[in-house]
Structure 1
């Protein structure tokens, strides 16, 4: 047996996979791949109708993590209230940074993207790519808020919207 410590994830746990957001572990299974026996987490991303198999010994290395604590969710929602910080860099550079934050799986970084790209009705129009990044970040944030708060996505969306609408313009 290898000395790698067993991951603390179990079936029915919700986890955050950096590139895909919140998923649920369906099971842990053994599979023989290229002649080697591997233990895999089978993770379902219901919304995306996708199932992912992740080697248990690589999960934490890949950045898979448990859901954020309610404290972190509160801090993320607080972040949304802040003033948008938009750098003067070219859009392509900023877009790349936003995408990295979204795919980091870090709830605080994702909240920063939502804050920075959120537009009130009276503000200038968003470009297509801005809108795409904003919606991706918003969806990741909302799904995790829903899973942590034990509410459905619509309820979490309402919670996030209230914070965004109520924030200082």
Structure 2
């Protein structure tokens, strides 16, 4: 499915690059693993190649999808009436999908709220994390300009 050198997105971790495909032996069973270096945390993650299709890991979005992402980020409505616990769960579920549009919605909504009032500690951390995941993917999209990345600031 993926090759060494491919840029990927791992939900809740952001963008990364597949550095190697290694065979490891655990409990007398040999198995192939993708070795992924994550951009945000700089940690290395090993995922069995057999489990990759169920992991929600996906290729990095391409430049053609960027217009939709920017539009989503700059437009759309935010539901400000939800209690923060419900909003937090909805936003967490959006981030877990790994979908860049849903991640952009979370960043957009929390940034809008931050302009109006102080975010609680949980939502502030969520904003920081979601923003980091979004930027980590934007930075590796082929053909994206620095100006387009800054439109998310």
The two structures share one fold, judged by TM-score above 0.5:
yes
Map 1:111-150 → 2, pairs under 5 A = 111-119=104-112, 123-149=116-142
Q: Which structure's relative contact order is higher, taking Cα pairs within 8 Å and 6+ residues apart? A: 2
Give the aligned length: 153
5+ residue gaps, structure 1: 1-6, 162-169
Cα offset, 1:88, TM superposition: 2.9
Contact 2:40 2:133 in 1 (8 A): no
Which of structure 1's runs of 4+ aligned residues deviate more than 4 A? 149-152, 154-157
Map 1:1-169 → 2, pairs under 5 A = 7=1, 9-86=2-79, 88-119=81-112, 123-149=116-142, 157-161=149-153
Greater Rg by CA? 1
Contact 1:119 1:126 in 2 (8 A): no
Contact 1:102 1:110 in 2 (8 A): yes
Contact 2:74 2:108 in 1 (8 A): yes
